[in-house]
Amino acid sequence: MTTPTTELDKPEPVSLKQAFWFWLKLGFISFGGPAGQIALMHEELVERRRWLSERRFLHALNFCMVLPGPEAQQLATYIGWLMHRTWGGVIAGGLFVLPSLLMLIGLSWLYVSLGETPVVAGLLYGIKPAVTAIVVHAAHRIGSRTLKNPWLLAIAATAFVAIFALHLPFPLIVLGAGIVGWLGGRWRPQFFNLGGHSSANNESHRPALIDDHTPTPAHARFSRSRLIILMLAGAALWCLPMAALTTLYGWHGTFTQMGWFFTKAALLTFGGAYAVLPYIYQGAVSHYGWLTPGQMIDGLALGESTPGPLIMVVAFVGFVGGFAKQVFGPEQLFLAGAMAACLVTWFTFLPSFLFILLGGPLVESTHGQLRFTAPLTAISAAVVGVIVNLALFFAYHVFWPQGFAGPLDWPAALIALWAFFALFRLKRGVIEVLLSCALLGLALALW
């Protein structure tokens, strides 16, 4: 039973203006890929600010994990929507992307204008090992909260083997974990009910604005009329720009094809950016010729070193493509690149907003219903295994850039060791670690 002291400990209500400034700040500091971004949001929103409880956070996260699209950006959209209605979700999700878009437009312009320089190459050289350490650190933090028993640990291990050794597609892993969770929720429910059975945990639980038993807000309940309005609005927000691009440039125009291609890519991003990068590479490089293979790799490095979702690499692809195709003529290269970057960002992220705004009421109606939460709990455990695989992917390409047949990149390994030490032992923040590693890389390049 809640005590009066606990009620007094509840945080003050948060206005939309206060939330705006928080989401703007988050957009500038959300480094480390989806794992790092989710861990950062958990630390800020659950542990420090207590805007929502651990169980509500994980319930929303599990839903975002099974959707196509960047899960961290969708999670921000979901929390913003839950707290401050539709505009809250639009602001939270938009500000999660906007700083990264502006930075990538500027970095892409410098990239195509100046080419490779020792300073830029050195900074990127130091950032890559840091990102590897950040992903491992985030996997450890998320796993320590999610893998509460041997069953969930076994699911995570199985997911790792499935994606690392068997190369199974991420949607199939999600489906398998969901089936295991559904069966486990019926036969072994005590292993798939995280948070309802630990009295010690309940005693140490500090109240949040949106707590475990906070009633669902009116705007988060299902409404048929609201569903129809959102579907019509989403269709208009996609059809009107596509119609305008087709009218101005024709169906085979560069901008039009970018809009169509990245809409398809947005619907295939199960499992994060790395799951869809081969598709983007095949289309942007091989089919359309918007950029070269080397430019695609450089764009991925820039995406890793900027805040926001890693799928924001599409902004680099769009900028270089619009620049190379000279859509507005040779005198307006920057404008063509910037317009292309904005267009591909719009068509990539529009489905993410719609998935959250349309599916949010369904998710909010399933709190405490084990038949819904058990599959999501199993999926969350599986995702931990997938994140570990992502960390190994980073490590392989950073420490052995020429493959295992080549030598170990000792300077990169030493920078990564420093990043691990700073994160795990010194408890330093993501930005501090990235800056220190970037400076180490720059020093090595200049030396």
Nearest to 433 by CA among 53, 25, 135: 135
- DSSP letter, residue 48: I
CA distance 447 to 445: 5
What pLDDT, on a 0 to 100 scale, did the predictor assign at position 280?
A: 83
What pLDDT, on a 0 to 100 scale, did the predictor assign at position 237?
A: 97
What pLDDT, on a 0 to 100 scale, did the predictor assign at position 197?
A: 36
What pLDDT, on a 0 to 100 scale, did the predictor assign at position 175?
A: 82
Q: 39 near 141, Cβ under 8 Å?
A: yes
Q: 123 near 444, Cβ under 8 Å?
A: no
What pLDDT, on a 0 to 100 scale, did the predictor assign at position 136?
A: 82
What pLDDT, on a 0 to 100 scale, did the predictor assign at position 4?
A: 46
What are the percentages of helix, strand and coil residues in the chain, rounded to 5? 75, 0, 25
CA distance 442 to 433: 14
Domain range annotation of the chain: 15-208+225-447
CA distance 304 to 138: 15
pLDDT averaged per 10 residues in sequence order, the chain, 447 residues:
53 92 90 74 88 87 78 93 95 95 92 72 80 78 78 88 81 81 79 50 66 86 91 96 96 95 81 65 86 79 78 93 92 95 96 93 71 73 79 80 82 90 83 84 83
Nearest to 216 by CA among 62, 373, 56: 56
